[in-house]
Amino acid sequence: MVPRQLRRRVLDLAHEGHQGIVKTKEHLRSKVWWPGIDKEAEKKCRECFGCQMVAKHFPPPPTAPTRLLERAWQEIVVGCLGPYLLVPLLVVVDYFSRWMEEEVLRSSHQMLTQQFCKVWRAS
């Protein structure tokens, strides 16, 4: 077990070369251990600018074309936004007109969202 005072130095040595989270953990596990070693190695690699530069980035898949809609409110998207000014918002967007409705949520609980959707559909 590595003393607390030396853990940062050991972590820096294992991290040399910016080989990523898996390799850094392998280097550490092959020689040393301390409680929370995996979380510290992951945090080190995620916060390291060099690791971000050499990491493989996978571009998102191309967006699929949507079918043409015939009328407003035929298809909608519902999502949560925020917190915006410390308040979460429930947002409803009509795909046809791009009209957006929003409602302030007092709680991000799923039941509240479902209740809002029922009330919104009825109006």
| Max CA separation in the chain (angstroms) | 68
Residue 37 — pLDDT band, cuts 50, 70, 90?
very high
Quick one: 47 and 14 in the same domain? Answer: yes
Strands (E), the chain: 76-84, 87-94, 100-104
Quick one: 46 and 8 in the same domain? Answer: yes
Instruction: Flag whether 28 is in a domain.
Output: yes
Q: How confident is the model over 48-60, as a mean pLDDT?
A: 81
Is residue 26's pLDDT more than 60?
A: yes
Higher-pLDDT residue of 120 and 66 is: 66
pTM above 0.75, yes or no: no
CA atoms in the 13 A half-sphere facing the CB of 108:
9
Q: How confident is the model over 72-90, as a mean pLDDT?
A: 80
Quick one: 10 and 47 in the same domain? Answer: yes
Amino acid making up residue 23: K
Residue 116 tokens read as 């809002």
The SS3 call for residue 43 is helix
Domain containing 12 equals 4-54
Number of compact structural domains in the chain:
2
Which of left, alpha, beta for 82 (phi over 0: left; psi -120 to 50: alpha)?
Answer: left
Quick one: 86 and 48 in the same domain? Answer: no
Q: How confident is the model over 10-29, as a mean pLDDT?
A: 88
Instruction: Flag whether 12 is in a domain.
Output: yes
Quick one: 8 and 50 in the same domain? Answer: yes
Instruction: Flag whether 62 is in a domain.
Output: no
